[in-house]
Every structure is written in C-alpha cells, then in structure tokens.
Amino acid sequence: MGLEIERKFLVDPSLWKRVRPAKGHKMIQGYIFKSVERTVRVRLRDHCGYLTIKGETKGATRAEFEYEIPATEAQEMLDTFCDRLIDKVRFEIEVDGKTWEVDEFFSPQKGLLLAEIELNHESEAFTRPEWVKEEVTGQPEYYNSNMI
C-alpha cells in the first residue's frame, strides 16, 4: 500500500519572498469524488496529467495511490467531472535534505500560502525554515479537497 505522511504549515509571505524559487509548476486540480474516507483527484501539472486516490487521514498519514495519465484525458476529466477547480503554483525548495512543497493559491483562496513536507514516519525530525509558521496538519479547512 502506498502511504503519504505529510505535515502542512502556513507560510509567512514576506519571508517566503526572500527564498521563493524563480520557477514553479502550474497546477489545476479538481475532485471527482470526495468524502472523509477517500478522495479521487485529477490534476494537470504543467503538461502532465495525474489521477490520485487518497484514503482517510489519520494523524499525518493516509493511503495514497497516484498514476500518470495523458494530459488530454486529465483535462477531459476536469471538464466533465469537476464543478470547481483549484488553481495554484507549486514551488519546491530543499532544506537539509528534505523537499518542501509550497503552494501559492490563485483560487479558490487567492493568496493562501501552504507548505508541505513528506516524511518517512510521523515522528521524523526535520528542519523548519524561518518562513514556515503555524502548523495546520489535520485542520480540515487546509485540505485541498475541502477548499472547493
């Protein structure tokens, strides 16, 4: 079984500006199905499509299965099955051997900055950069699936 162990944090906009990489990945995503127990998401990242199935989050862990699909099919699924979409740019920044993913949202929550770090286990130690602020792991309003 694929597992995702992820912690989420809010980002300080002024501190983020100082370290923000020049290039990010444009993402459009929508949800074909969402419940507390599972979600089915379709995403366009730059020019690649992805279909992702995630299970219920327990702590910072959940089952996750992701498959690359043709971009044309991803676009068709977004157009056919998704009433509302998330539009964001994802930046990746390396800190002490771990990759932080920072999402800058354009919709539905314009201006929201969320940082995520994937871990090997929930209690794994990691360096928290100065631009990473309040932890929001487990707060439903910060799940992408609940934003739309």
> What is the reported pTM?
0.94
Average pLDDT, integer, range 96-114: 97
Q: Which residue has the tokens 């929550």?
A: 109
| CB neighbourhood size of 9 (10 A) | 22
Structurally, how many domains does the chain consist of?
Answer: 1
Range of the domain at 112: 3-147
Give yes or no: 50 in active site: no
For the cut 70, the answer to whether the pLDDT of residue 79 exceeds it is yes
Residues with Cβ within 8 Å of 50's Cβ and at least 6 positions away in sequence, in order, are 41, 42, 43, 44, 66, 67, 68, 69, 74
CATH assignment of the domain containing 53: 2.40.320.10
**Per-residue pLDDT tens digits for 36-47:** 899 999 999 999
Average pLDDT over residues 50-61: 94
